[in-house]
Chains A and B, each alone.
Chain A
Amino acid sequence: VTLSLRRLRQLDDRYHFLREAAPDLDERCRFTFSAKDNICAAGMEATAGSRILSGYRPPFDATAVRRLREAGGALVGKTNMDEFGFGTFCTNSGFGVPLNPYDTERSCGGSSGGAGAAACLIPDHVAVGVSTGGSIACPASFCGVFGFTPTYGRVSRYGLIDYGNSLDKIGVLSRSCAQTEEAFLAIAGKDERDPTSQAQPPLPAGGRPVRSVAVPVEALQGLSAEVAGAFDGGLARLMGMGADVTEVSMPSLKYAMPAYYVLATTEASTNLARYCGMRWGAREEDVNQGFNDFFSAPRSKEFGAEAKRRVLLGTYCRMVGFRDKYYMKALAVRKMIIAQYEEVFARHDVIATPTMPFVAPRFDDVRAMTPLQNYSADFLTIPPNLAGLPHLSMPCAYAPLPVGLQMTAPHWDEMTLLAFGKEWENGFDFRWPEVEA
């Protein structure tokens, strides 16, 4: 292991991707890893990027952290993130903004933005991230690394601070797909502490060959010129590797963005109800006030603007009179989209799209976006996340900033993506940023 804590702190002084560094680093470890700040590690602060959880130090390891330690990994820090995972650009943390290693005036992507920067800046490093609607693939695309999101239910979420229970998935970001696979194999599998992990079939020994790649025409609209050109180049490379590429139509994808935001905010608004100043983090001192005032005060003071927006939206969508119109409809739409994916997978091995419609944006461009424009930027990462499908973002070109190609496979077929990713990285001309630290 070449990383020292001193070097890690130098990098962090420059790029601000950590919430907290580990107090020590065992140099005999097999590899170093970091955990997104919504994943618990014993004794380290876990805030999920929210000031309402300031000072919370869980006394236990999340299952994913425990399994990586058991596999010989040393945890070097907790990575910064959008508050509770609410964001596409990692600009919604209560604790500062990580800077893109390729251009410090640009976003790392979100919500696992600190993990994207850590994976890019530190060789041989495993950055554990979490994706609800694209929070692994997006920072992987903007930071030029592999970002792997497994099938919903494949990796135990014990010790994860929830955002959306029917959507959250723990995954891995890394410079190398081989290392991504190794880390995934360590954290995957059933865990009696997470019932959603119990339904999974065993992992197959290897992947299927990728011979037929489907590209939904719906994913080709609204791309920046850089991304459209880079994606064409990526498809040419795929064909050079022996795959057929076919355009398909998936009309139900037009419902994915609204269905996702209905489900995600509905689930988030119930999950965030527990942050009311009693058990974790920020607290009201005066217990003699009524419970409504006691609970409302820290929420109003400590939640950031996007957290309040999503709590309001989610609360609205499940209020009396609106539940059928929004929540139940979104559940039905998700089922319909999964069925459409299955139709495509009956004829093709995987689906390929760009990961994001543009390269890492400048912070002033991010500030100029409305919330709806911001949500709409996720239109390529939302569909596989909504459907719980495994997907891998791979660096496919530099324009001159990195562009990601996102490949999606059927439920539980992670090994096909990882086998392909290892083939993809073999001979790919990686351009790592010049690190100014």
Chain B
Amino acid sequence: MRKIHNARGHTSSVPEGGIVDLGEVDRVARAARLRLSEEERSMYAKDLEDILAAFSVLDQAPSAENYDFNPVPIHDVLREDVPSAGIPPEELTAHMDTYQGYVRGPRLS
């Protein structure tokens, strides 16, 4: 294992040789906001290891300098910002838990 530092200065372990250990699965699951059972942890550790091993063929591909984000050219298109009726906000929020027109959410702590 080697240590890397992310942008916030936190240290984490990166497995070498494509080994995905349970700690790595936990770290990814936390970032993805998933709580995994013990059974899921070991299943996904094995699955990720198999899949990432198959991805290693990408290491042989030529350099990654020349790329596009879309398979065909996409232009940035802007339209006039014209207010229109559209869909009434109360219809768009009909299925949400709202309070005085605001969507209810959790505490930010």
Contacts and interface: CB of A to CB of B under 8 A. Distances in A.
Are A and B subunits of one complex? Answer: yes
B71 interface: yes
Contacts of B6: 320-321
B108 A291 contact: yes
Given A289-B107, A291-B107, A319-B28, A255 B33 contact: no
Contact of B67 (A55, A288, A334, A386): A334
Given A287-B104, A332-B63, A166 B71 contact: yes
B77 A313 contact: no
Interface in B43-98: 44, 47-48, 50-52, 54-55, 57-59, 61-77, 79, 87, 91-92, 94-97
Contacts of B74: 153, 195-196, 198-199
A332 B67 contact: yes
B27 to A, nearest CB: 8
Interface in A318-373: 319-321, 324-326, 328-336, 338, 370-372
B63 A312 contact: no
B1 interface: no
A290 B107 contact: yes
A224 B104 CA distance: 54
A296 B106 contact: no
A192 B65 CA distance: 32
A312 B62 contact: no
Contacts of B108: 291
Given A296-B33, A331-B64, A316 B57 contact: no
B61 A255 contact: yes
Interface residues of B, number: 58
Contacts of A198: 74-75, 77
A63 to B, nearest CB: 14
Contacts of B4: 320-321
Contact of A335 (B67, B77, B105, B109): B67
A348 to B, nearest CB: 20
A300 B4 CA distance: 28
Contacts of A182: none
Nearest to A196: B74
Nearest to B47: A371
Contacts of B79: 192
A278 B57 contact: no
Given A312-B28, A320-B6, A152 B51 contact: no
8 contacts: A196-B70, A258-B54, A300-B36, A305-B40, A312-B48, A316-B24, A326-B55, A335-B68
9 nearest CB pairs, A to B: A388-B71, A294-B106, A331-B67, A320-B6, A332-B64, A300-B35, A59-B91, A258-B55, A315-B32
